[in-house]
Amino acid sequence: MDLSTPRRRVYGADHDDPDPGPRPGHAYGELVGGPLDGLLLDVTGWSPARLAEEARLPTEIGRYGPGGRAHYRRRAADPDRWDWSGDSR
């Protein structure tokens, strides 16, 4: 993933963080679609098995509001992108 373009926000970074962008030496996947579209998911140190699983990310801005989760799955043809597959409680 080319991180030389304008700084992007990493999922889980505090809104008042003065530098919510990617960190050197970390691996990221771009979240595509759904409530977290455009954010970067830090997958540093994730095993191949974990990368193959669906990520269920807590978020208050999904279909179910506070306590809800947005589900993303790594795209097989483009592993730097994670596609939204729905929301849950």
In the chain, where are the structural domains located?
A: 1-89
What pLDDT was estimated at residue 5?
Answer: 53
**Quick one: pLDDT at residue 79?**
96
Residue 43: predicted pLDDT: 98
Report pLDDT for 81.
98
Residue keyed to tokens 């030389």: 4
pLDDT at residue 72, rounded to an integer:
98
pLDDT of res. 80? 97
Contact present, 31 and 55 (Cβ < 8 Å): no
Indicate the pTM of the whole model: 0.88
Give pLDDT < 50 ranges for the chain: none
Residues near 44 by beta carbon (within 8 Å), at least 6 away in sequence: 25, 26, 27
DSSP H/E element including 19: none
pLDDT of residue 29: 98
